Amino acid sequence: AVTAVTPTALSNIENQISDELRTRISELTGEEMGSLMDDCCNESFVLLHNDVKMENMFFSVDSDGICLIDWQTLRHGGKLALAFEVVQFMSRNVDVSVLQDKEKMNSLITNYLDELKSNISDRPGNSVPSVSEFRSDLKRCITAAIVNIVMLGSR
């Protein structure tokens, strides 16, 4: 499916992405996507929404509360799946100026991981990645997450 849909989907966004990303997307194979998704299931210790976007969030007016809706695609995942979910959310919902600001990104990543650590039990196998591990996982997931978003938008 990746190989069949990518040329059409890529033509829809080719003027909005870098040459490097265009090349990486063109080279991505279905086997690589499958391998990445398999790896996302390893060490499952957290429940993931799998479609986190602003349209699926309700914010409380008088508190810091957030309610997520549209849970039909939820799944379990591990460290790599966390990164995949964050890449999908940020690529669809965070302003480019924030994504390009290294200091803001470091702050977002650190805050996310700190919040995750404070809400994950200390049971064996429930290890939240370090900032450097998470950055490495984010880099591994970026191309596949963007391809996933592009393929969804090409239909």
DSSP secondary structure letters along 60-105: -SSSS-EEE---TT-EEE-HHHHHHHHHHHHHHHS-HHHHT-HHHH
- Name the residue range of residue 102's domain: 2-153
Name the 3-class secondary structure at 58. strand
- Please state the domain count of the chain: 1
Could you identify the residue written with the tokens 């829809």? 12
pLDDT digits (tens, 9 = 90+) for 79-127: 888 888 898 888 888 888 988 899 999 999 999 999 888 887 766 666 7
DSSP-derived letter for residue 17 is: S
pLDDT digits (tens, 9 = 90+) for 31-90: 666 676 677 677 777 788 888 888 988 988 887 888 888 888 888 888 888 888 898 888
Count of Cβ atoms closer than 10 Å to residue 129 Cβ:
19
**pLDDT at residue 132, rounded to an integer:** 93
H or E segment to which residue 48 belongs: strand 46-48
Amino acid, single-letter form, for residue 3: T
Burial 47-68 (b: 16+ CB within 10 A, else e): ebbbbbeeeeeeeeeeeeeeee
User: Under a CB-based contact definition with an 8 Å cutoff, are residues 128 and 110 in contact?
Assistant: no
**pLDDT at residue 155, rounded to an integer:** 44
**pLDDT at residue 19, rounded to an integer:** 75
Amino acid, single-letter form, for residue 155: R
